[in-house]
Structures are given as structure tokens and as C-alpha cells.
Structure 1
């Protein structure tokens, strides 16, 4: 009897976890063309924005706009101190239950400095995936929440 209850309980936990992922429209692992990192947390949204902004500053990013009352902040195009990559602009904004991180990277080697979305696409060393990994790293360094991935519609 206790084995059946244990199996039933584990099944319900798995079902509830899957239902939550579906309800949020988010995946546990990055998937092809994912362009957003979702950080679910119980902390106050303004506190999350402040902590993430401080973390990014410590890593060499400069803040372009910081507007907690509007629910977002934006960095200037930057490369993480000591890192390799392309200048990346990170946007962190409130969403229900946490924050969403999106980004755009610059290609200064092209005329006009075109911008492209950071997304989980291409080889690990590709500009899009390299920039997406910076978003993921930022969310994982937060440490106080659940990280998920999504295709964010602007």
C-alpha cells in the first residue's frame, strides 16, 4: 500500500511540475530559437531588478536605463569584464512571478553596427548563442529562483 502511495505521490509531483512548465509556456532546458530567460522568484520585483543590475555592474556592464517603477532596466552594449563575445544589451523586465531577461548583441565589424537578438541558435561560439548564454549566466548567478526558457514575443 505504501509503495502505491509513494508512486502516486511521485506521479502527482511530476504532473504538477509539467503542468506548471506548460502553464508558464516555458521550458526547463534552452531550446532552438529560445530568446528569453525567465527567472521565477518569490522576491519583490524591485528587489530582483536591483540585485540583477548590481550583479551586471560588477561583471562590467553599464546601466543605460533603470526604472523600477516601470518594471525594467537596460544595460549599455557591453562585454563582460574578462569575457569574449560581442557587445550585448540586456533588458530585464517584470513579468508575473519574476523577471524576463532578453538581449540584443551588436556586430561592430559590420557597417552600421547592426543589432541581432540573443537567442539559442547555432554553434556555442556563434554570436547569438554566446549572447544568449550571457543571459542564462545572469539568471543562474541570481541563485534565488527557478530558471526557465521561452520564445518571448515583443
Structure 2
């Protein structure tokens, strides 16, 4: 009986990338669907001004908003799209600052809102224990 020598197979050094492409496409679809849902806040027309944006490393700020009708909003939890009373806003801000005292607080006001309403919101935030507030604006690149 003659024994045939076995042929040795050479190892294949290729990576099958098809599963990686499938995962990438699924992730792309997920991000495309969820990206519009991530935007938060109330639609207001901000006044135009030149200002430096917040750094990427800072904590996400609490944004207290007042719309054209003078209603208050806070970008916290489920209450970001529903108007709230002034004392409710102050209570929520004070509770958040007790948990995270170094959270920046921003005021977002519609361009049609009177200066008095913005000042009243800032006084309300000061009484809630906010040490300083920032004012949000749109860039004036027209």
C-alpha cells in the first residue's frame, strides 16, 4: 500500500469583513433615527450676538427658557416641552444644584421677550441659589 503524502494547506490571512459591515450599517441606522430625538429645548428666536461657545469639556448646563408668551421651561427630564410655574422652576433648579452644585445655568430667552421678563427669570434663578447665569445667543453671522 502506497501512502500518499498529505498536502498542507496554507493558512488564509484574510479577515472576513462582512459581519463588521453589517454591524456598521445597523449602527448607522440607529444613529440616524435617534439623532433628531436628542435635540432638546423649546423653540425660541435668540437675539444675535458675538460670543464664545461653551467648552466641550464642561458639564451640560441647565437651560432655563422663557418663550415669546412669557412661559418658563427647564431642560430637565420630561418637563422640557411643558411650561411650568416660576416657583416650580426655582424648586427644580435648587434641587439640581444641591445634587450637583457646579452645574452651569444658562438663560435662553426669545428675542421678542421683554427685558423685564429675562431679568425676572434671572432673579428667580438667583433666589433658587444659582451663583451666576449665562445668557444664550445666536451667532450674528448674517
- TM-score class normalised by the smaller sequence: under 0.3
Q: Which has the higher strand share?
A: 1
Determine which structure has more spread, i.e. the larger CA radius of gyration.
2
Tell me the TM-score normalized by structure 2. 0.26
